[in-house]
Chain A
Amino acid sequence: MTKLLALLAIFAALFCAPLVIGSEFWLNTVLLALYAALLGQAWNILGGYGGQFSFGHALFFGVGAYSVAVLQVELGLSAWLGLVVGGALAAVVAVIVGFLTARYGLRGSYFALVTLAFAEVFRILSNSVSWTGAGEGILIPLDQRLAALQFPDTASAYWALWAITLACFLAVWRLERSRFGARLMAVRDNEDAAAAIGVDAMQVKLGAMALSGLFMGLAGVFYAQKFLYLDPAIAFGPEKSVEALLVPIVGGIGTLFGPLLGAFALHGVAEIARETMGDAPGLNMIVYGTILVCMVLFLPRGLAGLGKHVRRAFRA
């Protein structure tokens, strides 16, 4: 219960960000951090709670993003319909990938490689067919009305993102105290032992894939509607997949707050590196990289694990 209160308090504070932050630049930074938290939490459902490390989560992001773009540009349909279709289609694609990998017993690094391969296949396909705009990308015509699901200013985009992210975090909060979540973590920790006490590993994995894919797809829809432009590298490129997995790994894998901590820590570090090393081009990336390596080396359970250490030290 305290966890839910903490979550709601944090999101209440995040809701106020556009009212408090005057600078467009800093609001945009917070927006990007929140957006990273959404990607990270979506990945965390499958990777953190399900123990299946996907290296191709861009696949679901891209399916969501292209769905909403193509539906508007090619078919002239509403972006709101695109929101529903994008989320649903991403979930369906995730279930198909999940079924194929589970059917052939691919776990660990094989699972990671196959997900990466799927994302790459989609990147190449979207680069080749005409209705996705191929290599030139796809441009969503500007129409800043609520009916077109576009955002007249950063604040309204921020609040839309806030709502999706809150839904995602609440879903994970619920997951942690549900039968489905208990089964998912059991399969993660020991698939045979879980099966022996009646857990259908396939069903549980597909459920996690669907949920993870859904929120990744919604993140894709948000991206498309915010930036109004997509190309195959943005939608399906490995950078997106890496961002989605880096955030929870830094923040604390398989924890509710990990992705939030990770997202703000990574964006904070990136900003500080840029501010302080501004003059020498590339130096900020070196500092950023070094800090990242140190985090992974010294905090294998992420920033959320650090909290546990401190609490244990105080109790002892």
Chain B
Amino acid sequence: MSDFNKQASSLKLIFGWRVGAFLKLLSLIVILIATLLYYLSMNPSMSHRSDSVIAIQPQGDVANGAYLARISGCIACHTDTKNPSGLVSGAPLKSSFGVFYAPNLSADKEWGIGNWSLADFSTAVREGVSPTGEHYYPAFPYEFFSNFSDQDIRDLWAAFQSVPANAKRAQSSEIDFPYNLKFSLPLWKRLYQLDNSVNTDQLQLQRGQFLVEVAGHCAACHTPRNILGALQQDQWLQGVIANEGGAPPITKEALLLNGWDSADLAYAFKTGIKPDGDVFGAKMQEIIEQGTQFMSEADRLAMADYLLEIE
């Protein structure tokens, strides 16, 4: 074996462990220690359910809810286009932590969300906790959706109640060890809570911010994650390398460097066509086809302006 190959092999081993196994063990140790510390420091009376109660009035707007569900990816993620039936189960979402399947969101009382209340829905979407107190994995982007307003939630709820019941059990997610240890999720959520607030008094940028940082959750793909799957907030929208999911940087600097202007971005969100005539493939094309193409022109421009304005 050449010296080069020997060096390459030694890089793959740490104390005789393969790097993947070593990282998993490290993750497990971190999770166990952190969970222990969390439970030791936790106030015994603390509930995993939020006490916030959403007012039932005013009524939700089904049309706006359907629009939000579309542009937020609810419909895309909870529908398998190869086996389309109303929001019963998503296509497999493969990640380095395992394979996630989005659950049944139809009005079925057993397998769907037919037995939920508006408050249950609000807690699930904005806090990532099910009516039975189970914490969801962040494959469901509740960390972004926490900034949906009460009225957004009422609108979404009204729209979801229009989905016919479909009594079909969604496939269970297949999460690798140690990430399948769900007891650590409350701590994970506390440690990695997003702080993506941007203060702007311009209405156009506020709308863009809502679309990019909340509904569109662009950072979920365009921001790198650490070994525990948390977004690295100091590298917001700075892109993800190919073998970790592959998404280009979409910071203001990167977009300007690549020659994008606001009109180009808005047109690409509508058609998938880039300024040089190339056409998006991969995941971005799905986002466009199932989400941004249905946005109003004003919203597409608001997203583009926000991406090109915010430092």
* A interacts with B: no
Interface residues in chain B, defined as those with a beta carbon under 8 Å from any beta carbon in chain A: none
Q: Report A's interface with B, CB cutoff 8 A.
A: none
